[in-house]
């Protein structure tokens, strides 16, 4: 489930003045409770910490029912299980990130692709020099965090991979 | 005026440049290594780009990383600070070809004055006195005597292929010149396989006096007086003052004129400093030129009422030197102590680590230029200077009393600093009387009883 879908659910809850929503789908579980219930929030935080770095806390503490701003006072549990057990490939230099050798070429790496240490995954351009960047890790590409032609700093995460 | 400037440096000077940018309404872009993520210069810049890991060779000295960051951030100019790439003509050249203004003189001028031999020859051609020496190899005793007589004793006999202090002899008179000449040749032959020697005037315990130069692109060239930087340990300055206690108006005028003349000859632009050795007879000799801003620039700023970093940025943007700088009248006296993360009781061993507590002095006439704060972790990769303490007083005595007071308030816990050492020097009678030279600190250290480790 995407964050924007969760946001849509919260907005629907606000619009229809619902105070509780619970969804279970396979491994995925989503529970939304409106209003400031500090004990419950603490419980959720505790269980989320035990589960892993999955919680996305939304702004809490505005008290009472949220008005038109939508999304206030709710808490999330059990979000995307894919965040656990992943690693990132970070930029080894500062420059401009390109997914392919040129606009005419296919991207070096796609989501779902298996890479090893020597796989070229992208190009970083610095001072008119195009540097082919190797994965230097083994695994499957799960997510691409930088858009084509965007600048990257040294150590910025570029790819999320599931290590082999 | 530039819209955006990249600061290609770190530590206190990066913060200094960022502050000047902000006062000029210019956006400041900081670059930093992963070791400097928590540095104040990163926090106070308008934006910051991480360019590499801790070691300087992979970050602050890496030209491609700096230029790449400059391109991403779309800057108009780069301020190189001091050290790192500030006197690298190749870097200045790359900036020029990337159409990014390098805040400093041109690459050609940097190259010319960066080579010490060429610089000395250039200075000599401009009529600036240089350390007198024989033009060529001295082959006979007779020749040596003639040259020494012309130069005046004492002289230094140096092996042309020499190094490490070998193949060198000083001579105070003709008798010691005769023995020294032959001994130096013999040692040179033995150590380097080449007996050839030349002769230079031996300047006994000179003073290090440097002149601040400011030159804009419209032909204005001026000097802002001198700084006395004779208090050095192993060729590292630790305390500087402005004006110099040994300066006279007559000497200042001669040295100032020579400095301006040299800058005009080489077409110098922006801020720079010419360093001289001065003997007790007020003979001055060109040593070298630094084509960048110096660490100790604040003492000139305090005495002349100017902001040299802002002048650098203005000049690079094509503006003339500020009116108030051109018309400045020096007044008062300023002293600076470089506070280093070193243990003065343990042979000045570096002392990186976490600053558990950092409290800088304040009050009338006290200025502290620093990038550190309580809780900051001093990284091990870079030079050990953590702060510059600058005091200004209406007279030299007032400045000394103020520096003593300020040093006593300066509280740093968690690491060792040179504060106790500088405190002893400032309180010494030699410093009070202004009676010190380049050899003073080493002599002082040699006289100390062995200090117990703390």
Strand partners, B272: B213
Residues B197 and B211 in one domain: no
Determine, yes or no, domain membership for B123.
no
- pLDDT higher than threshold 60 for residue B417: yes
At residue B119, the pLDDT reads 86
Query: Does the distance separating the beta carbons of A153 and B64 come in below 8 Å?
Result: no
What is the CATH classification number for the domain harbouring B410?
A: 3.30.470.20
At residue B379, the pLDDT reads 94
Between residues A82 and B296, which one has the greater pLDDT?
Answer: B296
- pLDDT higher than threshold 90 for residue A11: no
Residues B181 and B296 in one domain: no
- pLDDT higher than threshold 50 for residue B330: yes
Query: Does the distance separating the beta carbons of B64 and A127 come in below 8 Å?
Result: yes
Residues B94 and B182 in one domain: no
**pLDDT, tens digit (0-9, with 9 covering 90-100), for B266-279:** 999 999 999 999 99
A93: which chain B residues are within 8 Å (Cβ-Cβ)? 52, 64-65, 68
B68: which chain A residues are within 8 Å (Cβ-Cβ)? 93-95, 126-127
Residues B365 and B429 in one domain: yes
Measured from the Cβ of residue B439, the count of other Cβ atoms closer than 10 Å reads 14
C-alpha–C-alpha distance, residues B38 and A2, integer Å? 33
A156: which chain B residues are within 8 Å (Cβ-Cβ)? 50
Q: Of B191-200, B407-416, B443-452, give the range with the top mean pLDDT.
A: B407-416
Query: Does the distance separating the beta carbons of A154 and B98 come in below 8 Å?
Result: no
Q: What is the CA radius of gyration of chain A?
A: 20
**pLDDT, tens digit (0-9, with 9 covering 90-100), for A24-82:** 888 778 888 776 555 655 665 555 555 444 333 333 333 333 333 333 333 333 334 44
Residues B394 and B373 in one domain: yes
pLDDT band of residue B319 (cuts 50, 70, 90) is very high
Inform me whether the C-beta atom of residue B72 falls under 8 Å from chain A C-beta atoms: yes
Domain count, chain B: 3
Query: Does the distance separating the beta carbons of B64 and A93 come in below 8 Å?
Result: yes
User: Per-residue pLDDT averaged across B97-120, rounded?
Assistant: 91
List the single range of A42-51, A113-122, B216-225 with lowest mean pLDDT.
A42-51
Residues B65 and B147 in one domain: no
- Structural domain for B92, as ranges: 4-103
CA-based nearest residue to B244, from B291, B282, B293: B282
Q: Which helix (H) or strand (E) holds B29?
A: strand B27-33
pLDDT band of residue B366 (cuts 50, 70, 90) is very high
At residue A34, the pLDDT reads 73
Residues B232 and B329 in one domain: yes
What is the CATH classification number for the domain harbouring B35?
A: 3.40.50.20
Mean pLDDT of chain A: 77
Determine, yes or no, domain membership for B338.
yes
pLDDT band of residue B378 (cuts 50, 70, 90) is very high
**pLDDT, tens digit (0-9, with 9 covering 90-100), for B7-34:** 999 999 999 999 999 999 999 999 999 9
At residue A51, the pLDDT reads 47
Residues B158 and B68 in one domain: no
Determine, yes or no, domain membership for B300.
yes
Q: Which residues of B are catalytic?
A: 292
- pLDDT higher than threshold 80 for residue A113: yes
Between residues B58 and A4, which one has the greater pLDDT?
Answer: B58
What's the distance, CA B293 to chain centroid?
8
Determine, yes or no, domain membership for B82.
yes
- pLDDT higher than threshold 50 for residue B453: no
**In chain A, domain spans:** 3-83, 87-163
Mean pLDDT of chain B: 94
Residue B303: phi, psi to the nearest 5? -80, -30
First to last CA, chain A: 25
Nearest CA in chain A to B51: A154
Inform me whether the C-beta atom of residue B65 falls under 8 Å from chain A C-beta atoms: yes
At residue B163, the pLDDT reads 61
Beta carbons of B277 and B229 less than 8 angstroms apart: no
At residue A43, the pLDDT reads 62
The CA-CA-CA angle for residues B264, B77, B376, to 5°, reads 110
At residue B159, the pLDDT reads 81
Query: Does the distance separating the beta carbons of B72 and A151 come in below 8 Å?
Result: yes
pLDDT band of residue B165 (cuts 50, 70, 90) is low
Residues B254 and B364 in one domain: yes
At residue B71, the pLDDT reads 96
Residue B365: phi, psi to the nearest 5? 70, 20
Residues B242 and B387 in one domain: yes
At residue A74, the pLDDT reads 36
Fold adopted by A87-163 = OB fold (Dihydrolipoamide Acetyltransferase, E2P) (2.40.50)
A150: which chain B residues are within 8 Å (Cβ-Cβ)? none
- For chain B positions 88-127, those within 8 Å of chain A (CB to CB) are 94, 98
Domain end among B149, B183, B201: B201
- pLDDT higher than threshold 90 for residue B333: yes
Query: Does the distance separating the beta carbons of A126 and B50 come in below 8 Å?
Result: no
State pTM to two decimals. Answer: 0.79
Which residue in B34, B59, B67 is closest to A127 by CB distance? B67
DSSP 8-state class, residue B343: E
A154: which chain B residues are within 8 Å (Cβ-Cβ)? 33-34, 50-53, 59, 65
């Amino acid at each position: 489930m995407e964050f924007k879908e969760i946001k849509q659910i919260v907005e629907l809850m606000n619009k229809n003045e619902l105070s509780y929503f619970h969804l279970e789908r396979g491994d995925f579980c989503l529970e939304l409770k409106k209003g400031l219930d500090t004990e419950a929030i603490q419980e959720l935080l505790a269980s989320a910490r035990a589960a892993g770095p999955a919680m996305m806390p939304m702004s809490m503490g505005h008290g009472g029912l949220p008005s038109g701003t939508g999304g206030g006072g709710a808490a999330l549990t059990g979000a995307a299980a894919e965040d656990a057990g992943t690693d990132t490939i970070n930029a080894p230099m500062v420059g401009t990130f390109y997914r392919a050798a040129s606009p005419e070429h296919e991207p070096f790496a796609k989501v779902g692709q298996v890479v090893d240490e020597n796989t070229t995954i992208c190009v970083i351009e610095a001072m008119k020099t195009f540097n082919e960047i190797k994965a230097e890790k083994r695994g499957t590409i799960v997510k691409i965090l930088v858009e084509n032609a965007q600048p990257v700093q040294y150590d910025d995460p570029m790819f999320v991979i599931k290590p082999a | 005026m530039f819209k955006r400037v990249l600061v290609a440096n770190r530590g206190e000077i990066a913060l200094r440049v960022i502050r000047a940018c902000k006062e000029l309404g210019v956006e400041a872009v900081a670059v930093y290594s992963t070791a400097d993520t928590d540095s104040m210069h990163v926090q106070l810049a308008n934006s910051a780009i991480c360019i590499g890991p801790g070691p300087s060779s992979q970050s602050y000295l890496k030209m491609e990383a700096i230029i790449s960051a400059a391109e991403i951030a779309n800057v108009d100019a780069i301020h190189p600070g001091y050290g790192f790439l500030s006197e690298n003509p190749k870097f200045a050249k790359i900036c020029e070809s990337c159409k990014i203004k390098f805040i400093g003189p041109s690459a050609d001028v940097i190259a010319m004055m960066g080579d010490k031999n060429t610089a000395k020859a250039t200075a000599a051609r401009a009529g600036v006195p240089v350390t007198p020496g024989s033009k060529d190899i001295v082959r006979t005793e007779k020749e040596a005597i003639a040259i020494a007589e012309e130069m005046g004793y004492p002289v230094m006999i140096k092996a042309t292929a020499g190094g490490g202090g070998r193949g060198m002899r000083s001579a105070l008179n003709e008798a010691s010149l005769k023995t020294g000449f032959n001994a130096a040749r013999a040692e040179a032959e033995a150590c380097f396989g080449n007996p050839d020697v030349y002769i230079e005037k031996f300047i006994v315990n000179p003073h290090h006096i440097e002149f601040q130069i400011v030159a804009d692109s419209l032909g204005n060239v001026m000097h802002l007086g001198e700084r006395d930087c004779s208090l050095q340990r192993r060729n590292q300055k630790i305390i500087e003052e402005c004006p110099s206690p040994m300066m006279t108006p007559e000497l200042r005028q001669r040295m100032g004129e020579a400095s301006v003349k040299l800058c005009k000859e080489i077409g110098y632009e922006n801020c720079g400093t010419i360093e001289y050795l001065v003997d007790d007879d007020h003979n001055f000799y060109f040593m070298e030129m630094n084509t960048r801003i110096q660490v100790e620039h604040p003492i000139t700023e305090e005495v002349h009422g100017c902001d040299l970093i802002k002048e650098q940025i203005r000049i690079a943007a094509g503006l003339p030197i500020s009116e108030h700088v051109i018309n400045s009248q020096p007044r008062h006296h300023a002293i600076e102590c470089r506070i280093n993360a070193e243990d003065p009781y343990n042979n000045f061993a570096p002392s990186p680590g976490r600053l558990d507590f950092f409290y800088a002095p304040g009050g009338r006439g006290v200025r502290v230029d620093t990038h550190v704060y309580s809780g900051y972790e001093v990284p091990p990769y870079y030079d050990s200077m953590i702060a510059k303490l600058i005091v200004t007083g209406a007279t030299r005595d007032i400045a000394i009393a103020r520096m003593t007071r300020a040093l006593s308030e300066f509280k740093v816990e968690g690491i060792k600093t040179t504060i106790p050492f500088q405190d002893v020097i400032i309180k010494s009678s030699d410093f009070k009387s202004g009676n010190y030279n380049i050899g003073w600190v080493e002599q002082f250290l040699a006289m100390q009883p062995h200090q117990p480790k703390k």
